[in-house]
Amino acid sequence: MEEIAAIQCPFCGQSFEVAVDTSLPFQNFVTDCEVCCRPVEVNLECTPGRILRLNVVAG
């Protein structure tokens, strides 16, 4: 199941959305901020259809 999560860039402070596959219980990935293009690391804990924990740090 895919959910959309809003995250805030730790560099520029702008919010943007990422798609998350909630069928995986633990996830870590790096994505670029849609505004400033700097890499951010996203750490997630999920259950199917639900995001339990979301943490965003400078990549």
pLDDT value for 55: 97
The residue range of the domain holding 42 is 2-58
What percentage of the chain reaches a pLDDT higher than 70?
100
Long-range contacts of 16-24 (CB under 8 A, 24+ apart): 18/42, 20/44, 20/46, 20/51, 22/46, 22/47, 22/48, 22/49, 22/50, 22/51, 23/48
Checking if the pLDDT of 7 tops 90, the result is yes
Residues 6+ apart with CB under 8 A from 25: 45, 46, 47
Q: What is the pLDDT of residues 20-45, one digit of tens each?
A: 999 999 999 999 999 999 999 999 99
Q: Count how many domains the chain has.
A: 1
- pTM score, whole prediction: 0.87
Task: Give the pLDDT mean for 6-30.
Answer: 96
CA distance 50 to 17: 15
